[in-house]
Amino acid sequence: MGKKRVYEFAKEKNVESKKIIEKAKEIGIDYKSHMSTMDDSDLDKLNKALSAKSAPAPTNQPAKNKTQDSRGNNQQSTNKNKSNNSVRQQTNTSKENRTNADKSQNSKGQNNIQTQNRATKKPNNTQSKNTQKTSQEPTVQKRTTDEQQKQQLQQSKKRRSSRQHRGINGGPAGRKRKGKKNQQQSQATPTPRKARELPKVLEYTDGNTVAEIAKKIHREPAEIVKKLFLMGVVATQNQSLDKDTIELLATDYGIETEEKVQVDLTDFDTFFNQEVVEENLVTRPATVTIMGHVDHGKTTLLDTLRHTNVTEGEAGGITQHIGAYQVEEKGKLITFLDTPGHAAFTTMRARGADITDIAIIVVAADDGVMPQTIEAINHAKAAEVPIIVAVNKVDKPGANPDRVMQELTEYELIPEDWGGDTIFVQISALFNKNLDELLDMILLVAEIEELKADPKRPALGSVIEARLDRAKGPIATLLVQEGTLSQGDPIVVGNAFGRVRTMTNDKGRRVKQATPSTPVEITGLNIAPQAGDRFVVFEDEKTARQVGESRATAANEAKRSTTNKVTLENLFESLEEGELKEVNVIIKADVQGSVEALASSLQKIEVEGVKVNIIHTGVGAINESDVTLASASSAIIIGFNVRPTVQANESANREEVDIRTHRVIYNAIDEIEAAMTGMLDPEFEEQVTGQATVRETYSVSKVGTIAGCFVNDGVIKRNSSVRLVRNGIVQYEGELSSLKRFKDDAKEVRTGFECGITIEGYNDIKVDDIVEAFEMVEIER
């Protein structure tokens, strides 16, 4: 048996928990609430203190307690102030009452959707907090409270007396009238309920209302209201109660409790992380994404596979582009995602859809490892997806597969023959050479990965593609990840909802069911979702609609409030809260040497066991793909002597990815370390005000180089600092020495206008250079 709680002790002593808390306080013991546990020594002290004072033990009659306890009442009344606000709202007018009832009804409906504990906290808060607040409460409020209290007492009294006088016909109508105009009167004539036996166990959920609890234990809500009142909690019938209060109430009735934890249906993680039923698991096809550098043959490979390995029996079917398709090899299916490239892959991941089981990295044997090959590898690694390397175009005269293999060893992709564990297949996508072997290897990896799913549970999965069709309405291609999707299923897809009206497979055939790893195009949604959204099937359409609508509302709200993306500002908090085990970082720099220097220094930082994890590095401007990767992996991007492209900037703003650019390595390291230790000083932040492109340059003796520019974004101000960027790499950072419109000095020049610029102490300006103007702005913390 664990330690005694205050309320248990109070019960033993037949006094209110509050009294015990007060008494404890008098002798220097501070209990936060009636749920606080009590030490043996404290128990002793309290026992002594209580017996010393109240030799005549308090009686077991709550009513008596109440009248005796004028001081306690005082406290109670203050306690009530807060909750009474809501109480008043609910009882003042009938209309309000209904609205509130509706609301609570609503929230009750949504109980399935969202666990509520806002309201439930109230009684508890009031109990613990209000003690100090007493003197600050406005008197008017106090009076109202007292009145309210009086009213309640009157009501319960009337009810009591009416019970004695009323005949059988009081009936349920008495209860129904409650809350209507003649509240007092109607409440005075409630139904005489036979005191049914209490249940042994009270099954409740955090946030149940007084009325709900009353129903569960076969008691009048008024009785509960009264009991609560005596415990120092003022609540109306429609008020939600928190867990502690419900448990306390149950203890008071001498019944056990069992909390039914509500599942938040709007949180799809609950479904996706649901425990598996081992015996239902069956092997499912692998889902494969093809990635690689431009022109290395991704599309050709997808096309050849699609046309040569059509599922038996399906030949002749018109292949549909639905965003994914399945091929058959040795009687087993493989699902290929039709949009090649790591951008699509990571965008999906950023939206929460981790659907790729295996990544094929295509490298052209005549071209070798290229920047996007490396990006693709890092994107696959960040997603912890097994990689198969397809060395393509081996038919070409200049093909050198060995060189590709050699180059890839640098990225820890080492062929099995060389002692590594990466599968390499030499193929010609164009001439369909060795594609069977590639498929075999996919099956092999799939087998090793033991890809399994439970086709028996309600279906869930992700959106591969979605669009709005004029004739058919919203259309979405879904990849079933678990369960079996059936025509007619009520479904929520992202923030859209509906019923699966039609299902079409990748061969253009209507199907009635789709098992795990099968892509199908569906209609029947209210709006088009987005690629990467996840879907869940529900039991009935009503729930689906509720969940869909709540998700849409929540998404809108989330859009307005901040997201929980990792930034240097919130890094420390995230680390403190234990959310982060490592800090993901992407490094982009002007030269490889800087990348390495920065990477090795950052990796040495370790703050309380949390380390920096570099997920991608590269030379050149920070691009959109870096931002997508950062967004999907909650990473921070550090640019050294490089700048983000316009698209990358836009995308970073949208995705709330933190990009930090530096020109001194030490500063970059310092900043990360400071952020990790919570010592970051983010009072000022650089804000780019505008960008201009150099269209012409003029050399003027004594003045230097004048750049004839066109402002393509924002505004260039005379007093802004500027940096000169060439091909994404910062050439110079300094101040403007002049800003002119035609011959005149200008204070600022806005988008769409031309201007003449000279930079202080810098003349090496070239056509197509970008002049970026920025200011240091104080930011709110």
Ligand X SMILES: Nc1nc2c(ncn2[C@@H]2O[C@H](COP(=O)(O)OP(=O)(O)OP(=O)(O)O)[C@@H](O)[C@H]2O)c(=O)[nH]1
The binding site comprises 292-299, 338-342, 392-395
Per-position DSSP letters for 459-509, written without gaps between them: PEEEEEEEEEETTTEEEEEEEEEESBEETT-EEEETTEEEEEEEEE-TTS-
Q: Are strands 256-259 and 201-204 parallel, antiparallel or unpaired?
A: parallel
Supply the minimum distance, in Å, between the C-beta of residue 756 and ligand X.
Answer: 40
Residue 2 sits at φ, ψ, to 5 deg, of -80, -170
The nearer residue to ligand X, 112 or 299, going by C-beta atoms, is 299
Stretch that binds ligand X, among 388-396, 414-422, 517-525, 529-537 (CB under 6 A): 388-396
Q: Which residues are within 8 A (CB) of 716 and not within 5 positions of it... i.e. 6 or more apart?
A: 689, 690, 692, 709, 722, 736, 739, 748, 749, 755, 757, 771, 773
Q: Are strands 770-778 and 721-726 parallel, antiparallel or unpaired?
A: antiparallel
Supply the minimum distance, in Å, between the C-beta of residue 294 and ligand X.
Answer: 4
Structure tokens at 129: 């907090």
Supply the minimum distance, in Å, between the C-beta of residue 105 and ligand X.
Answer: 55
The nearer residue to ligand X, 387 or 692, going by C-beta atoms, is 387
Q: Does 668 bind ligand X (CB under 6 A)?
A: no
CA within 13 Å, CB half, 206: 17
User: Do 499 and 522 touch, CB atoms closer than 8 A?
Assistant: no
What burial class does residue 46 get, using C-beta atoms within 10 Å of its C-beta: 0-12 exposed, 13-18 middle, 19+ buried?
buried
The nearer residue to ligand X, 378 or 550, going by C-beta atoms, is 378
The nearer residue to ligand X, 340 or 708, going by C-beta atoms, is 340
Stretch that binds ligand X, among 13-21, 389-397, 586-594, 768-776 (CB under 6 A): 389-397
Stretch that binds ligand X, among 133-141, 287-295, 661-669, 744-752 (CB under 6 A): 287-295
Q: What is the 3-state secondary structure (H, E, C) of 538-554?
A: CCCHHHHHHHHHHHHHH
Return the beta strands (E) in 592-680 as ranges: 606-607, 610-619, 635-640, 659-662
DSSP reduced 3-state for 263: coil
73-111 burial string, b = 16+ CB within 10 Å, else e?
bebbbbbbbbbbebbbebbeeeeebeebbeebeebbebb
The nearer residue to ligand X, 344 or 500, going by C-beta atoms, is 344
Supply the minimum distance, in Å, between the C-beta of residue 399 and ligand X.
Answer: 9
Nearest to 162 by CA among 139, 137, 193: 193
Q: Does 296 bind ligand X (CB under 6 A)?
A: yes
Binding-site sequence positions for GTP: 292-299, 338-342, 392-395
Stretch that binds ligand X, among 294-302, 374-382, 648-656, 691-699 (CB under 6 A): 294-302
The nearer residue to ligand X, 442 or 544, going by C-beta atoms, is 442
Q: Does 373 bind ligand X (CB under 6 A)?
A: no
Distance CA 519, CA 347 (A): 18
Supply the minimum distance, in Å, between the C-beta of residue 282 and ligand X.
Answer: 34
Supply the minimum distance, in Å, between the C-beta of residue 772 and ligand X.
Answer: 30
Supply the minimum distance, in Å, between the C-beta of residue 302 and ligand X.
Answer: 8
The nearer residue to ligand X, 101 or 344, going by C-beta atoms, is 344
Total interface residues for ligand X by CB under 6 A: 16
**Which one of residues 131, 149, 283, 299 is an interface residue with ligand X (CB under 6 A)?**
299
Structure tokens at 480: 């079933």
The nearer residue to ligand X, 429 or 765, going by C-beta atoms, is 429
Supply the minimum distance, in Å, between the C-beta of residue 394 and ligand X.
Answer: 7
Nearest to 272 by CA among 403, 453, 441: 453
Residue window 336-355: x/- pattern of binding to ligand X, with contact defined by CB under 6 A: ----x---------------
Distance CA 585, CA 160 (A): 69
- Within residues 428-447, the interface with ligand X by CB under 6 A covers 428-430
Supply the minimum distance, in Å, between the C-beta of residue 304 and ligand X.
Answer: 8
Q: Does 298 bind ligand X (CB under 6 A)?
A: yes
The nearer residue to ligand X, 393 or 534, going by C-beta atoms, is 393
What burial class does residue 57 get, using C-beta atoms within 10 Å of its C-beta: 0-12 exposed, 13-18 middle, 19+ buried?
exposed
Stretch that binds ligand X, among 290-298, 403-411, 594-602, 703-711 (CB under 6 A): 290-298
Per-position DSSP letters for 1-35, written without gaps between them: --PEEHHHHHHHHTS-HHHHHHHHHHTT----STT
The nearer residue to ligand X, 276 or 294, going by C-beta atoms, is 294
Supply the minimum distance, in Å, between the C-beta of residue 344 and ligand X.
Answer: 11
State the helix-helix crossing angle for 6-13 and 17-26, rounded to 10 degrees: 100
Q: Does 294 bind ligand X (CB under 6 A)?
A: yes
Distance CA 533, CA 133 (A): 48
Residue window 732-751: x/- pattern of binding to ligand X, with contact defined by CB under 6 A: --------------------
Distance CA 37, CA 17 (A): 12
Supply the minimum distance, in Å, between the C-beta of residue 306 and ligand X.
Answer: 12
**Which one of residues 237, 300, 504, 731 is an interface residue with ligand X (CB under 6 A)?**
300
Nearest to 280 by CA among 536, 456, 515, 483: 456
The nearer residue to ligand X, 380 or 652, going by C-beta atoms, is 380
SS3 breakdown of the chain: % helix, strand, coil, rounded to 5?
40, 25, 35
Stretch that binds ligand X, among 297-305, 523-531, 559-567, 595-603 (CB under 6 A): 297-305
**Which one of residues 4, 88, 381, 396 is an interface residue with ligand X (CB under 6 A)?**
396
Contact positions toward ligand X, by CB under 6 A? 292, 294-300, 340, 392-393, 395-396, 428-430
